[in-house]
Structure 1
């Protein structure tokens, strides 16, 4: 008996004169809906964010093994609330978000909302030079309750103006957002045309602008909310150029005095008095001087995640003199300011 066998050959399909069509998910906008929630427990409106004047770019303190020192962090935040700050940037440049894993980043945002979200607006720095990462981090940030997001333009690799618009539009739909323009760090200015295009989104709260007060004026003349990112210009930005307020580094140290500059009318005398401190804070890239200052005030441990290192001894001595000139009572914390020795600092490359 013979058994008939058949050989199965793969069926070859040719596409003569037929154009290949991509999957629908690749061509339908918002095919994959963002991970959004309509719960209102911690939600705030874009208009609420627009009204904030004093927003502190809060420092992230560390334990000797490099983990977050949440006890010291909570004390820092409480001092900001007590002295009148209205918002916090969590994990920004000052908070060293660039040295965090995304797990650390989102945890710190969630922790801040959970502990302080009823007393101060929490703005998570969930921006990235990668649109994919910015989308994912922003979804997670809003999922853990942040009130708004801070978004920088793609840095290092840079992109075109059309690329910037597409990048920002990819995240603006998720909730209230502040766009951050700091060409000295990104290597690329965000042109006015990009911002004017993005104002079509109801979620654009405003701009953190570091180019200068002439740029601030261009935006405020067109009804766009601006926070200056330059502490040395905050007084004039507020009272002469229409800025709503400041996203400040200096307010980590003297939140009450910075609030006074923003809320109590023109005060060139106070502004001049604070200028030596502000200049001291920006003699090296932020947050190097701030980290040094907070450690010498005794409100954080003298622990640095590399590549940041403390200011040299002569500059540390200069800070103590500045504190005494302005008045220790105006600075955060209640310990005597001191000059730390080189051996007091811990520098961590692995953590």
Structure 2
């Protein structure tokens, strides 16, 4: 008598079965980054290593908290005309931490589309989540950015081996600058970690904020490094071997910072800039910069919370600094003014 079909099926599912791993888990390099062979904005790490003046550009806002792209484009033109070679989009200065990833990638894409043939666009696609950092970097390179800026995982800090693994994962996406700023992340990226990833072909170099002794150590080992401290960048460049600077103050005086990076030692100019630099960083960046650009009339006086403008006495100090350095050295063509408290718009929901 024939055995019904369901009998065979029951016997089959009751037989011991050998477990097989999911196919994806055994395919070599299954999680390769997305690639494109288009060459419009294709840039190697070697191209990024040559940049001497990179500005961490401010993101301006409309009164409802959305991006003010007209003001952003004007800022970009000022940077290009005054000799900046690269731009960081959505970094600490650009308040990337206050953006959604949609906003972030949109601004990178806009910058590439409008200015990518005139300046190197470096998108801050770093995160304390490796998954997010990889995804954002894929998107950033897909919209044409020339390089990525990556910070070490903050708050939920990891081990030294975890740092290496994190950076190796994001380096696979494309040319990358590693950003070390322990005052913000709570964790130093020690030289041992940088040395471990330094041979990766996508490793462009390090934005280093620990100081010039660390910079000289990297230079001696053949690692490209940019100063992340405006107050130390002159000596970093001319006494310690830094390639250049990733600058905040160049938002305000790009021509003077270019002169500082390109024209050789200039302790006189460096000294003249120190009152501005000290004023700019007395409160956490970008509070001072946002206040300064508003008083210069090049952006609207709109702040995304938790940032708020400097108090009026500090705003008066800035006007005096501008007059002393010369208004012509600053961005914009309007007269500098002391704004009233009521002139500022603070946006909490955007």
TM-score, length-scaled by structure 2: 0.95
- Describe how 1:1-351 pairs up with structure 2 within 5 A: 11-12=13-14, 22-26=21-25, 28-351=27-350
The answer (yes or no) to whether the contact 1:25–1:32 under 8 Å persists in 2 is no
User: In angstroms, what is the RMSD of aligned CA positions?
Assistant: 1.6
Q: Give how far 1:22 is off.
A: 3.8
Change (3 A) 1:28 1:279: farther
Structure 2 residue ranges without an equivalent (≥5) = none
Structure 1 residue ranges without an equivalent (≥5) = none
Change (3 A) 1:301 1:223: same
SS state at 1:180 partner: strand
Q: Give how far 1:12 is off.
A: 4.6
Q: 1:267, 1:133 → 2: CA distance?
A: 42
Change (3 A) 1:164 1:28: farther
Over 2 Å off, 4+ runs: 4-15, 20-30
Q: 1:322, 1:118 → 2: CA distance?
A: 34
Change (3 A) 1:173 1:276: same
Q: 2:20, 2:137 → 1: CA distance?
A: 31
Q: 1:344, 1:130 → 2: CA distance?
A: 38
Q: 1:38, 1:6 → 2: CA distance?
A: 53
The answer (yes or no) to whether the contact 1:313–1:342 under 8 Å persists in 2 is yes
Change (3 A) 1:344 1:33: same
